[in-house]
Amino acid sequence: MEIVDLVPPELKNNVIVTSVDALFKWGRANSIWPLSSGLACCSIEMMCAAASRFDLARFGYEVFRSCPRQSDLLIVAGTLTWKMTPPLIRLYEEMPNPKYVIAMGNCNIGGGPFADSYSVVTGLDQIMPVDVYLPGCPPRPEALIDAMLKLKKRIQHPETAAGSEERMNMSRENLENMIRPIAPGKVE
């Protein structure tokens, strides 16, 4: 029996029948609240994306929150150093589920120009799961908007992205195994 058959004829043009899951995905994908956390150069371009010309508000993503408890997207914008890693992991853990991460800039993909430095983390995915990688040094605001639209697609259609479903249903223990805040040369 089709669900549509249960709907009275006078409501057929006014009611959309969907699953709760699809509705939640639609809601999550269209109103991402990013955490306003900037580390370095990329954060200026992130501010540009939110400011007048590029106007992230057109897509519904303009509510930059200063508090991790109110946000669901962590844009790691800028070079991540080993000293900054524990505060960043704490920020990530304080965010409520479901939460997403964009690794913005070359530094967060593989160290960028500072790859051979003694103090720089060569790749954000060493310390937390990443949803979208955004290359550029720094990426232009258009590129950030594109990354957020890719994230939207990923939230709405997780089956199109490899490993996304597992990542979203990842248990707490698995997540903790992925997070290894150990600086080089420092054994705890």
Partner 1 sequence: MATTEKFVLNMGPQHPSTHGVLQVQVELDGENIVGAKPVMGYLHRGIEKLMESRTYQQCVPFTDRLDYVSSMNNNLGFCMAVEKLAGIEVPERAQYIRTICCELNRIASHHVFIGSLTNDLGSATGMIYAFRDREKILDLFNIICGARMTCHYIRIGGVIADAQDEFLQKTEEFINYVPEMLDEYDRLFTGNEIFQKRMQGTSIISKEDALRFGMSGPNIRASGWDYDIRKIDKYGIYGKLDFDIPVGKTGDNWDRYIIRLQEIVESAKIIRQCLDNMPEGPFMAKVPKMLKPPKGDAYHRVENTRGELGFYIVSDGTNKPYRVHIRRPSFINLQALDHMCKGMVLADAVTAFATIDPLMGEVDC
What is the token pair recorded at 129?
């799961």
* 151 contacts 34 by C-beta, under 8 angstroms: no
Q: Does 113 bind partner 1 (CB under 8 A)?
A: yes
Q: Does 87 bind partner 1 (CB under 8 A)?
A: yes
Number of helical (H) and strand (E) elements in the chain, helices listed first: 7, 4
Taking each helix axis as running N to C, give the angle between helix 141-156 and helix 41-50, from 0 to 180 degrees, rounded to the nearest 10: 80
Which residues are 102's β-sheet partners? Answer: 75, 132
Question: Rule CB under 8 A: which of 34-53 touch partner 1?
Answer: 36-41, 43-45, 47-48, 51-53
Burial class (CB in 10 A: 0-12, 13-18, 19+), 141: buried
Q: Which of 45/131 has CB closer to partner 1?
A: 45
Question: Rule CB under 8 A: which of 115-174 touch partner 1?
Answer: 116-120, 137-138, 140
- Choice from 33, 59, 63, 84 touching partner 1 (CB under 8 A): 84
Binding site for partner 1 (CB under 8 A): 36-41, 43-45, 47-48, 51-53, 66, 68, 78-79, 81, 83-84, 87, 91, 113-114, 116-120, 137-138, 140
